[in-house]
Amino acid sequence: MESFVVEGGRRLTGTIRVDGAKNAALPILAACVLTEDDVLLRDMPQITDVSRMVDILRMLGCRVEASGHDMTISTRGMNRCEMPDGLSKQIRSSIFMLGPILSRFRRATVTYPGGCEIGMRPIDLHLSGLRALGVQVREEGGVIHCDGGGMHAGEVHLDYPSVGATENVMMAAATLPGTTIIHNAAREPEIADLAAFMNCCGARVSGAGSAAIAIEGVGCLHGAEYTPMPDRIVAGTLLCAAAITGGEVRLSNAPVADMTAVNAKLREMGCRVAETADEIRLTAPERLTAFSVLQTQPHPGFPTDMQAQMLALLTTARGTGVVVENVFENRFTHAGEMNRMGARILCSGRTAVVHGVPQLNGAQVTARDLRGGAALVLAGLRAAGETQVDNATLIDRGYERIERQLSALGAQIRRIHTGDM
Ligand code: EPZ
Phi, psi of 65 (to 5 degrees): -120, 125
Q: For ligand 1, atom 18, name the residue with the nearest CA.
A: 162
What is the tens place of the pLDDT at every residue in 344-378?
Answer: 999 999 999 999 999 999 999 999 999 999 999 99
Residue 118 CA, closest ligand 1 atom number? 35
Domains of the chain: 2-19+230-417 (3.65.10.10), 22-226 (3.65.10.10)
Instruction: Find the 305 Cα to ligand 1 centroid distance in Å.
Output: 10
Question: Please, what sign has the CA dihedral across residues 338, 343, 344, 345?
Answer: negative
Residues of the chain with pLDDT under 50: 421
Instruction: Give me ligand 1 centre to Cα 410, in Å.
Output: 33
Distance CA(106)–CA(98), nearest Å, equals 10
CA distance 265 to 261: 6
Q: Is 116 an annotated catalytic residue?
A: yes
Question: Which residue's alpha carbon is at the smallest distance from atom 21 of ligand 1?
Answer: 305
Q: What are the residues whose beta carbons fall under 8 Å from the beta carbon of 2, sequence distance 6 or more? A: 391, 392, 393, 415, 416, 417, 418
Residue with CA nearest ligand 1 atom 30: 122
Contact (Cβ atoms closer than 8 angstroms) between residue 268 and residue 241: no
Q: Is 389 in the pocket of ligand 1 (CB under 6 A)?
A: no
114-152 pLDDT per residue, tens: 667 788 778 999 999 999 999 999 988 888 999 999 999
370 pocket-lining for ligand 1 (C-beta < 6 Å): yes
C-alpha to C-alpha distance for 132 and 322, rounded to whole angstroms: 40
81, 116, 200, 271: the catalytic one is: 116
Nearest CA to ligand 1 atom 42: 162
- 114 CB less than 6 Å from ligand 1? no
Is the CB of 160 within 6 Å of ligand 1? yes
